[in-house]
Amino acid sequence: YLSAKAKVFVAPAMDLDMYRHPSTARNLDTLRADGVTLIEPAEGYLASGLTGKGRMEEPEEIVKVIEAWMDASASLKGKKILVTAGPTHENIDPVRFIGNYSSGKMGYALAGECAARGAEVCLVSGPVSLPVPDGDIRRIEVTSAAEMHAACLREFPGMDAAIMCAAVADYAPAVCSDSKIKRETTGEITLRLVPNPDIAASLGAIKTPEQKLIGFALETDNEHANALSKLRRKNLDFIVLNSLRDPLAGFGKDTNKVTVIAATGEEKSFPAKSKTLVAADIIDFTL
């Protein structure tokens, strides 16, 4: 199991007290969080002679669950999807930069889930320490917002959709020193910052009616109103709202809790889940 690259399903079978035990529930939760699909046991006659929940699901039902998954796993076949992920670093000098706490985990989970469903993925990634997920994923590594902007403008015209998950730095130093700024000789300094290009808005301005554009909003205040105004301003089709105030959402965490809002006004809130499962929810709702 640990080295399995394939999708894993578990159809547990055990006596009713064992199934009801909290340690079983905890272990099954761990498996679910790791992306394993649980096929719940049925109620009925058990090997112990007792009757209750713990009977392995009928093989015909197990096959149906797997077939449904196989249909869904080809749901993005033939689609090309651009995903941005991670932070950007804006250099001050050769050894210092302005950055943010983005780990890239959410964007990488989205890229992995799109590929798992058969899409051809282009992952434009800022500096992170994550491996490229399995599947048809071409990673373009960039450092600054300007580089990410250029890569996205180049790649977007051939795409069916773009998911803008990167935490792009809003400002960059107006000048980047060629040599290391020395404390002794420089003393107090003032950094002049200039705004970076808005990558999502640039793609929103050139997108065709067939292309879908999905953005993210990480807000601390007036979350819903701010997310809606971002959706309109950047001409997005969907915006995924996650709140920094939620302990299960945000930078570096393995879990996230999101609400997805469509330009049509439709919206859906999901409970806190692992970022892999959140990626599946976002893709189900938007693509």
Please state the separation of Cα 139 from the chain's center in Å.
15
Which CB sits closer to ligand CTP, 24 or 91?
91
Which CB sits closer to ligand CTP, 41 or 126?
126
Asked if 218 touches ligand CTP (CB under 6 A), the answer is yes
Q: Give the SS3 label for residue 216.
A: strand
Out of 230, 253, 257, 273, name the contact with ligand CTP by CB under 6 A.
230
Pairing label, strands 193-195, 80-85: unpaired
Asked if 123 touches ligand CTP (CB under 6 A), the answer is no
Look up residue 264 and give its two tokens.
């049509």
Asked if 162 touches ligand CTP (CB under 6 A), the answer is no
Asked if 170 touches ligand CTP (CB under 6 A), the answer is yes
Asked if 83 touches ligand CTP (CB under 6 A), the answer is no
- How many residues touch ligand CTP under the rule CB under 6 A: the total is 15
Q: How far is CA 55 from CA 13, 26, 37, 90, 259, in A?
A: 5, 19, 17, 57, 36
Asked if 199 touches ligand CTP (CB under 6 A), the answer is yes
- Span near ligand CTP by CB under 6 A; candidates 92-100, 115-123, 194-202, 251-259: 194-202
Asked if 215 touches ligand CTP (CB under 6 A), the answer is yes
Nearest-10 crossing angle of helices 145-155, 199-206: 20
Answer for the pair 38, 12: CB distance below 8 angstroms, yes or no. yes
Out of 82, 85, 142, 168, name the contact with ligand CTP by CB under 6 A.
168
Out of 198, 246, 267, 284, name the contact with ligand CTP by CB under 6 A.
198
Asked if 147 touches ligand CTP (CB under 6 A), the answer is no
Which CB sits closer to ligand CTP, 156 or 216?
216
Dihedral, CA of residue 204, residue 209, residue 210 and residue 215, to nearest 10: 30
What is the side-by-side order of every strand in the sheet holding 137-141? 137-141, 120-125, 80-85, 161-164, 212-219, 238-243, 258-262, 267-269
Least Å distance, CB 146 to ligand CTP, is: 10
Please state the separation of Cα 251 from the chain's center in Å.
12
100 is catalytic: yes
Asked if 159 touches ligand CTP (CB under 6 A), the answer is no
Dihedral, CA of residue 11, residue 15, residue 16 and residue 18, to nearest 10: -90
Answer for the pair 128, 211: CB distance below 8 angstroms, yes or no. no
Asked if 166 touches ligand CTP (CB under 6 A), the answer is yes
Asked if 274 touches ligand CTP (CB under 6 A), the answer is no
Distance CA 45, CA 27 (A): 24
Least Å distance, CB 201 to ligand CTP, is: 7
Contacts of 1 (CB under 8 A, 6+ apart): 8
Least Å distance, CB 199 to ligand CTP, is: 3
**Which residues, numbered 31-50, are part of the site for ligand CTP (CB under 6 A)?**
none
What does the binding site for ligand CTP look like in residue numbers (CB under 6 A)?
Answer: 84, 145, 164, 166, 168, 170, 196, 198-200, 215-218, 230
